[in-house]
Structure 1
Amino acid sequence: MKITLITVGKIKEKYLKDAIAEYSKRLSRYCKLEIIEVADEKTPDQASETVEEGIRAKEGERILKYIKDDMYVVTLEISGKMLSSEELAEKINSLGLAGKSSIAFVIGGSIGLGKEVLSRSDYALSFSKMTFPHQLMRVILLEQVYRSYRIISGSPYHK
């Protein structure tokens, strides 16, 4: 299975880079992992909805360049479906059993994802009704994907 994280913006904090590197290393036993960072747009303070829509569209164009036709696309959205760790593991496992060999997880920028990306999504996933910094969300997502593979393999890690 190939897992691709397509994310908006760069990671600046060393502690987040270290955590991402650690989970990337752990995941290498289970899947091929690729992390793609696309440039983010500067969002002016108190930007209008029209300006924000334009920003999401520009970031969306950059994201869509990396989404291939055969990818199963999971967008991270506050309004998406919340799953337990076991349910996420089952989702990943069932996609593999159904012949899907490539899953792309998409994390938007600070103002979310554009309409074009949302319409390409095969599954909307939510980790919480709370808002998290998109940089931290990468670490949380990687940890949960790793936990999923540990669950699939019957390992006690997830307890």
Structure 2
Amino acid sequence: MTIKLLGIGKTDDPAIQNLTEVYIKRLGFYNKFEFELIPDLKKVKNLDENQQKTKEGELLLNKLNNSDFVVLLDENGKQFSSEGFSEYIQKRLNSGLKQLVFIIGGPYGFSEAVYNRADAKVSLSKMTFSHQMVRLFFVEQLYRAFTILKNEPYHHR
């Protein structure tokens, strides 16, 4: 199974980008992992919030296959402990999925079309983080999940 993270916009902060890349590289030792960023929309000044979400949603949906299991990283999603998230990942690995796709929305969240396509929603926290930080936190937690599953010492219980 491939695990994929989809997001919108580039990471401006080189420190966050470098740390994100560290965890992406580490993930490669455990599972096939892809990270894809869709460029920011151009000329958003003339778009209202819903129009921007709709356009971003179309770009996100075009990156999905019908067979993908899609999980939105959403503030209203299910919250897990790190151990619980590792169990969630293990269940998906055992399910025979070809691709598990996690999506980080744009600055205003997701369009209704993206919500309708989603199979699940996961929340990293009740707090709000920048999209750049969410990328880092997510790849770190995914790496942590694999170290928990492999009973490795990265996660101290």
Using structure 2 for the length normalisation, give the TM-score. 0.93
Residue 37 of structure 2 corresponds to: 37
* Alpha-carbon separation, structure 1, partners of 2:126 and 2:81: 14
Q: 5 Å matches for 1:2-81?
A: 2-41=2-41, 43-44=44-45, 51-81=48-78
Q: Which consecutive unaligned segments of at least 5 residues does structure 2 have? A: none
Q: Secondary structure at the match of 1:77?
A: strand
* Alpha-carbon separation, structure 1, partners of 2:55 and 2:40: 9
Paired residues, what number?
Answer: 155
Of 114, 118, 135, 2:132 maps to: 135
One-letter amino acid matched to 1:125 = V
One-letter amino acid matched to 1:78 = E
Q: Deviations over 1:12-63 (max 9, x none)?
A: 111111011100110010111111111223654xx9xx81111000000111
* Alpha-carbon separation, structure 2, partners of 1:2 and 1:39: 22
* Alpha-carbon separation, structure 2, partners of 1:150 and 1:22: 15
Contact in 2 for aligned 1:39/1:59 (Cα 8 Å): no
* Alpha-carbon separation, structure 1, partners of 2:90 and 2:44: 38
Using structure 1 for the length normalisation, give the TM-score. 0.92
One-letter amino acid matched to 2:61 = L
* Alpha-carbon separation, structure 2, partners of 1:110 and 1:60: 12
Q: Secondary structure at the match of 2:134?
A: helix
Of 89, 93, 97, 1:92 maps to: 89
Q: Deviations over 1:122-157 (max 9, x none)?
A: 110011111100011000000000001111111121
Q: Secondary structure at the match of 1:36?
A: strand
